[in-house]
């Protein structure tokens, strides 16, 4: 039996401190959603026609770990940019802890694993208070390594990441990423796997043409179902027909987590919708979608991206920690500690188990003429958010410009 399932993988972020230390930070939900969206916009501007996937939560957690060791301007920049400046100093750590704990709730039907690890140079000395707090708030595992043996360190860290992401994220770092001046590397990995509450039946999946925003078409595997979801139609504020777009929220089993899909009209490129996306709008969507029957056509997709967060975070205002002026004195006494590298690799796959035999087996009859329900036909680029419905935490944000592409053979491609 195939179960439509979304297996998401994970993502991770690592920050290397050249000189001496490094750390990552966390994101509280609501307070960080603005930051999440700004990050998306930076990536979108740089991203051309590419798919995008990253985990704001993971970035926030990584930055939270860095913040714990930062002082002065280095600290202020993180608090301000991530969205903690309205909190009393230090409250963000407890918030991040609570947010991540809320996500990792074990009773759920989904699996979310957040893992944080700190790799320290064997003979360097770190502030015990920092190590204590990092374990307390981030449950970070602390290990010592010898950074001068760069190949061994890369291998060790990559294996740690692989172990915490069900092998979905491999080879995050390479030997070239390490030099003997590195004293600390922070790694944060997130893995998510959930099954749709309303699953797609694999026998309803078939090849279908997907129109990319550049006008080209690719063949993809389109899943189909008619089911109860949260749905709404929104306007970008213009009076034009093209200003209306659809929002579909599909919960995972347990209903704590969901994927929100935002789809412009067929003739409207996603890039014209993206600029209006703002943190309050995510809330508005979540609060205004209504449960109802919807016909859904969603391509299978797999998105993967490795991000250089350093330049992106600098653009957003977190600059000091990446320069020799960094003040990470709460980590060590050494003053010459700064963050040399910040990387995140994220991967998300939306699939149906057992789909191998499903292609071309024919979609159930589509009673097109009798459609009584709204139809969400994701046969062109869309934006998505995977979030916790209770806390608002954003586990993933991304867009699909090109879904999983399949080669055409002699199957039929009836359009529906």
Ligand X SMILES: *[C@@H]1O[C@H](CO)[C@@H](O)[C@H](O)[C@H]1NC(C)=O
Nearest to ligand X of 45, 91 (CB atom)? 91
C-beta atoms surrounding 374 within 10 Å: 16
CB of 334 vs ligand X, minimal distance in Å:
26
Binding to ligand X in span 345-404, by CB under 6 A? none
Closest CB to ligand X among 30 and 203? 30
* Residue 314 found at the interface with ligand X (CB under 6 A): no
Does residue 156 touch ligand X according to CB under 6 A? Answer: yes
Helix (H, G, I), strand (E, B) or coil at 176: helix
- Least distance in Å: CB of 98 to ligand X? 4
What strands lie across the sheet with 111-121, from one edge to the other?
141-145, 111-121, 182-195, 4-18, 338-352, 301-308
Report the residue number, 98 or 375, with the smaller CB distance to ligand X.
98
Which tokens sit at 156? Answer: 């060790």
Residues 32-91 that bind ligand X (CB under 6 A): 91
d(CA 233, CA 245): 6
Q: Which of 368, 228, 379 is nearest to 294 (CA)?
A: 228
String of contacts with ligand X for each residue 203-242, x by CB under 6 A:
----------------------------------------
Measured from the CB of residue 111, what is the shortest distance to ligand X in angstroms? 17
Q: How far is the CB of 163 from ligand X (least distance, A)?
A: 4
| Contacting ligand X within 239-298 (CB under 6 A) | none
Buried b (16+ CB within 10 A) or exposed e, 222-257: bbbbbeebbbbebebeeeeeebebbbbbbbbbbebb
Shortest Å distance, C-beta 80 to ligand X: 18
Choose the binding region for ligand X from 158-166, 265-273, 277-285, 404-412 (rule: CB under 6 A): 158-166
User: Given the complex with ligand X, which of 11 and 115 has the nearer CB atom?
Assistant: 115
How many residues line the site for ligand X (CB under 6 A)?
8
Q: Determine the interface stretch with ligand X among 153-161, 182-190, 347-355, 402-410 (rule: CB under 6 A).
A: 153-161
Question: What are φ and ψ of residue 290, in 5° steps?
Answer: -120, 145
Separation of CA 7 from chain center: 13
Among 312, 310, 323, 311, which residue's Cα sits nearest to residue 70?
A: 323
Q: How far is the CB of 118 from ligand X (least distance, A)?
A: 13
Among 119, 126, 160, 396, binds ligand X (CB under 6 A): 160
Of 93-101, 176-184, 274-282, 343-351, the segment contacting ligand X by CB under 6 A is 93-101
- Chain-centroid distance of CA 41 in Å reads 14
- How are beta strands 338-352 and 4-18 bridged, if at all? antiparallel
Long-range contacts of 41-44 (CB under 8 A, 24+ apart): 41/274, 41/275, 41/277, 42/312, 42/315, 42/316, 43/307, 43/312, 44/271, 44/274, 44/399
Shortest spacing between CB 97 and ligand X, in angstroms: 7
Residues 163 to 202 in contact with ligand X, rule: CB under 6 A: 163
Q: 396, 386 in Cβ contact below 8 A?
A: yes
Contact criterion met (CB below 8 Å) for 205 and 222 = yes
**From 15, 95, 279, 348, residue interacting with ligand X (rule: CB under 6 A):** 95
The least distance separating ligand X from the CB of residue 100, rounded to whole angstroms, comes to 11
Sign of CA dihedral 35, 40, 45, 47: positive
95 or 343: CB nearest ligand X: 95
The reply on whether position 94 binds ligand X by CB under 6 A is: yes
Shortest gap between Cβ of 54 and ligand X (angstroms)?
Answer: 24
Facing residues of 290 across strands?
231
Q: Which is nearer to ligand X, 161 or 376 (CB)?
A: 161
Half-sphere exposure of 250 (CA within 13 A, CB side): 25
Q: x/- string (CB under 6 A) for ligand X, residues 97-116?
A: -x------------------
Q: Cβ of residue 159: shortest distance to ligand X, in angstroms?
A: 4
Residue 91 or 364 with smaller CB distance to ligand X: 91
Give the footprint of ligand X on this chain (CB under 6 A).
Answer: 91, 94-95, 98, 156, 159-160, 163
């Amino acid at each position: 039996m195939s179960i439509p399932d979304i297996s998401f993988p994970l993502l991770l972020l690592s920050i290397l401190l050249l000189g001496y230390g490094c750390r990552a930070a966390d994101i509280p939900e609501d307070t960080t959603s603005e930051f999440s969206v700004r990050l998306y916009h930076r990536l979108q501007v740089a991203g051309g026609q590419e798919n995008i996937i990253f985990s704001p939560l993971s970035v926030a957690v990584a930055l939270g770990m860095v913040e714990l060791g930062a002082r002065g301007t280095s600290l202020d920049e993180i608090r301000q940019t991530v969205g903690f400046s309205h909190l009393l100093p230090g409250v963000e750590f407890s918030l991040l802890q609570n947010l991540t704990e809320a996500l990792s709730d074990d009773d759920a039907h989904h699996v979310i694993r957040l893992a944080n690890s700190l790799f320290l140079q064997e003979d360097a000395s770190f502030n015990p208070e920092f190590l204590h707090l990092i374990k307390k708030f981030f449950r970070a595992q602390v290990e010592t390594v010898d950074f001068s043996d760069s190949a061994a360190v890369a291998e060790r860290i990559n294996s740690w990441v692989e172990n915490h992401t069900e092998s979905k994220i491999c080879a995050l770092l390479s030997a070239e990423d390490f030099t003997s001046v590195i004293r600390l590397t922070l790694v944060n990995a997130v893995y998510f796997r959930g099954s749709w509450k309303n699953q797609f039946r694999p026998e309803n999946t078939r090849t279908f043409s997907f129109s990319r925003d550049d006008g080209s078409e690719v063949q993809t595997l389109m899943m189909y179902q008619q089911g109860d979801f949260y749905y709404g139609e929104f306007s970008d504020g213009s009076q034009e027909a093209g200003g209306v777009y659809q929002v579909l929220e599909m919960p995972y089993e347990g209903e704590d987590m969901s994927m929100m899909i935002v789809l412009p009209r067929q003739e409207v490129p996603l890039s014209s919708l993206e600029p209006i996306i703002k943190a309050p709008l995510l809330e508005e969507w979540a609060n205004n979608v209504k449960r109802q029957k919807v016909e859904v056509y969603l391509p299978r997709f797999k998105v993967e991206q490795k991000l250089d967060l350093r330049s992106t975070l600098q653009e957003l205002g977190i600059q000091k920690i990446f320069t020799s002026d960094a003040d990470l004195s709460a980590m060590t006494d050494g003053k010459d500690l700064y963050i040399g590298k910040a990387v995140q690799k994220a991967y998300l796959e939306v699939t149906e188990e057992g789909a191998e035999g499903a292609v071309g087996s024919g979609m159930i009859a589509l009673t097109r003429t009798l459609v009584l329900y709204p139809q969400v036909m994701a046969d062109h680029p869309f934006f998505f958010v995977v979030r916790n419905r209770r806390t608002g935490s954003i586990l993933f944000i991304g867009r699909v410009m090109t879904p999983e592409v399949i080669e055409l053979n002699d199957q039929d491609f009836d359009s529906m």
